[in-house]
Amino acid sequence: MKNDLEELKNDFLKLVKEVGDRAQLEELKNEFLGRKGKMKGLMKDMASLANEERKVIGAFANEIKESIESVFGEHEERFAAEEESTRAEREWVDISEPGRFEGAGHLHPVSQAIGEITDIFARVGFTAVRAPEIDWDYYAFESLNLPKDHPARDDWETFFVDAPEGKKGKIVLTPHTSNSQVRTMETQEPPIRMINIGRCYRRQIDITHVPMFHQFEGLMIDKGVSVTHLKGVLDYFAKTYFGPDRRTRLRPHHFRFTEPSFEVDISCGACGGEEHENCRVCKAGWLELGGAGMVHPNVIKAGGLDPDVYSGFAFGWGVERTLMMRSGIKIGDIRTLYKNDLRFVKQF
């Protein structure tokens, strides 16, 4: 029995040297001294010994147990010390190291332009409104003095939605933002000063056209509004968005929903409107911005207002076009804006 106990201790001493970490050490201790361990196994045999002998063996077994425990303790301390000494190294963090850059993005150039344009008009009291981008024929055409089958509709290469006609006609992808004119008059009391920036759709794609683009529409309705007000607002916009040296010009044109109607031109930024013969950008000293005019009496009527009391102006043109005409912005092809090529977008 004594020999068995000696052997047990020697086994432990041998095995404990091979232990690599704390968990293994714990396991080994359990194997020897645990409830189902080797020591317990030997103790069971003690029951069969005579009283005298059992005392002696019992005391000896205790000694063995204590010495195993103390060896165990030594090793445990060693592991603890080791762990402590490498802790600083393991848990070291360089707080001066620069953080990982997560690549902050920015708004798309068209979104930037929309924000800027909205802001410029807000400063002279034009409130931003939104009209549907998929709307009834009535708001996109008919209420704008464009009856069904009127040839002037052909100017708009419209996408019609394949859906049942309603009281207000077919459903269309709005070809311009002018659908906001009557919609705003229906819901707001004059004086009205609104700006609507939205998506428009036309069947067209080439270097200066995309099937989905943005327009902004301005509308002012009040008593005694005249062309002078229109010209003042357009000049203010041109100078603020394009630069203080830019001028605007109104050229007679025709729209069904304005009378008189104009094309709005802006003096060329490249030649200042002076060297138009040699200028590669404008050729005539002026660049065409978009359409404008005094709201047609029939449109004012469609908006539920009396054209003998109220008058107003409206204007509307493309956001992309406006952005591309800004000095220093050299976008040769409008389609580049929608190619989702980061090398392009990141330049803004």
Q: Does 220 bind ligand PHE (CB under 6 A)?
A: no
* Nearest-approach distance from CB 96 to ligand PHE, in angstroms: 58
Q: Does 299 bind ligand PHE (CB under 6 A)?
A: no
* Nearest-approach distance from CB 281 to ligand PHE, in angstroms: 22
* Nearest-approach distance from CB 169 to ligand PHE, in angstroms: 18
How far apart CA 26 and CA 225 sit, in angstroms, is 93
Q: Which of 109, 269, 273, 293 binds ligand PHE (CB under 6 A)?
A: 293
114 Cβ neighbours under 8 A, 6+ residues apart: 197, 214, 216, 319
Q: Which is nearer to ligand PHE, 250 or 271 (CB)?
A: 250
Residue list 157-176, contact with ligand PHE (CB under 6 A): 176
For residue 137, count CB atoms less than 10 angstroms from its CB and return exposed for 0-12, middle for 13-18, buried for 19 or more. Answer: buried
Q: Are 159 and 173 in contact (CB under 8 A)?
A: yes
Residue list 199-218, contact with ligand PHE (CB under 6 A): 217
Q: Does 292 bind ligand PHE (CB under 6 A)?
A: yes
* Nearest-approach distance from CB 276 to ligand PHE, in angstroms: 25
- CB burial readout 244-282, b (16+ within 10 A) else e: eebebbbeeeebbbbeebbbbbbbbbebebeebeebeeb
Q: Does 255 bind ligand PHE (CB under 6 A)?
A: yes
Q: Does 178 bind ligand PHE (CB under 6 A)?
A: yes
**Amino acid (one-letter) located at 159:** F
Sign of torsion, CA 292 297 302 304?
positive
Q: Which is nearer to ligand PHE, 75 or 176 (CB)?
A: 176
Q: Which helix (H) or strand (E) holds 171?
A: strand 171-173
Q: Does 198 bind ligand PHE (CB under 6 A)?
A: no
